[in-house]
Amino acid sequence: MKFNATRLGTARQRRMLNKKGFADLVGVTPHTASRWEAGATIPDEEWVEKIASCLGFPKKFFFGEDVDIPNAKMVSFRSQTSMTAARRDAALSAGSLGFLIVDWVDERFDLPDENVPDLSDYSPEIAALMLRQDWGLGEKAISNMVHLLESKGVRVFSLAENSKKVNAFSLWRDDTPFVFLNTIKTAENSRFDAAHELGHLALHRDGLTTGRKAEEEANRFASHLLIPQSDLLSFRKPHYSIEWLIGLKARWKVSLAALCYRMHKEEFLSDWRYRDLCIQIRVRFKDTEPEGIERERSVVWSKVMKALWSERLTQLDIAKDLALPEEEVSALIFGLLSEANPPSGANTERKFSVIKNERYT
């Protein structure tokens, strides 16, 4: 296998380097770096060592097959205005690495089949209603958005970006839907992101609606999916205290801000009252969520990793097989796992586990 130029581009973007920054880091001219990445010339052994070392990727990574690169035009990012091109490209290249991991898992496991309907002909509100009917959800609250997505064949990853500026993104790769979730946000926000990304998958598969309009539609879809209108109507009353709203939001596992926003849209709250509540929320809770819920985790990754652990395989083996940095594999998978490490009892040959009693130390 010869040096793969597309993999160099993926690794460079993953490290948020532009071509000049990469050239400076490695110690070559930007012209040379560009020719490497275009496949016009191939770096010799010594330079490959240097590239691998500078980018923090195993040398073997650069000698694999072409990687699929998500089409930026077909990917909807939230918070696009505050996101730099470098950050967007880094997130997309994380998507490429996610594809490699899914291919590795698909070779070894049968995962749920894709079942996300194309609802691009409908308004977000009607689409949310139709999706609930199609999936047999009725009007009840969705207990776990990540589980729901996974049960319908969506491959869910945690976003490796340690930044709130990249909220989440989703895309179709052939007939497989992918969602990448930011797990450093509150659990309620991640849950809303999951519903928002589902909106993109169901409404914007054709790629015809993009930008702010697509984001606004996905938000409406998410709100109506998580809080069915008929269910919300039964809670209409003359006055809403913030404490009462905190109690009510638990019904749908949404953030207080998302509930107030929706109630304002439905004209449960006057403009004046809504503004007052927004100020109260900002002052009292800042970036935290009152009465927060437990973060939603992945069943697919939990089951896959448990099966691998029982065969003495860990994320290290996945990383080694795919020639990826271990931290990339961990970041994409373990943000959604309840257990970050193999359980001590995973291997039945191990009869003992050691527990240090801190009380006596």
Partner 1 sequence: MDILEETVSKVVQIKPRKGESILTYYLCVYQEGDDIRGELSLATQTSCGYLAKFGERIFIIGGEAGGTDKILRKSDFDQSEFDIPISRKNKKKK
Give the residues lining the site for partner 1 (CB under 8 A).
107-112, 143-144, 147-148, 150-151, 294, 297-300, 302-304, 306-307, 311, 313, 317, 338-339, 345, 348, 350-357, 359-361
Six-digit token string for 3: 């040096």
CB of 136 to partner 1, least distance (A): 10
Give the up-direction half-sphere exposure of residue 27: CA atoms within 13 A in the CB hemisphere: 8
Which of 135, 235 has the CB closer to partner 1?
Answer: 135
Six-digit token string for 326: 């271990």
CB of 194 to partner 1, least distance (A): 13
Which of 105, 222 has the CB closer to partner 1?
Answer: 105
Amino acid at 27: G
Which of 148, 159 has the CB closer to partner 1?
Answer: 148
3-state secondary structure of 77: strand
3-state secondary structure of 176: strand
Count other C-beta atoms under 10 Å from residue 354's C-beta. Answer: 5
The number of residues in the chain equals 361
Which of 16, 313 has the CB closer to partner 1?
Answer: 313
3-state secondary structure of 311: coil
Which of 84, 338 has the CB closer to partner 1?
Answer: 338
CB of 298 to partner 1, least distance (A): 7
Which of 26, 337 has the CB closer to partner 1?
Answer: 337
CB of 335 to partner 1, least distance (A): 13
Residue carrying structure tokens 């989703």: 170
CB of 150 to partner 1, least distance (A): 5
Count other C-beta atoms under 10 Å from residue 146's C-beta. Answer: 23
**Distance (Å, whole) CA 55 – CA 40:** 20
Count other C-beta atoms under 10 Å from residue 350's C-beta. Answer: 9
CB of 109 to partner 1, least distance (A): 6
Which of 113, 271 has the CB closer to partner 1?
Answer: 113
| DSSP secondary structure code for residue 320 in this structure | H
**Helices 211-226 and 256-265 sit at what angle, rounded to 10 degrees?**
100
CB of 210 to partner 1, least distance (A): 30
Which of 271, 294 has the CB closer to partner 1?
Answer: 294
Q: Which residues contact 45 (CB under 8 A, 6 or more apart)?
A: none
**Distance (Å, whole) CA 340 – CA 333:** 9
3-state secondary structure of 104: helix
**Helices 211-226 and 187-203 sit at what angle, rounded to 10 degrees?**
120
Give the up-direction half-sphere exposure of residue 77: CA atoms within 13 A in the CB hemisphere: 24
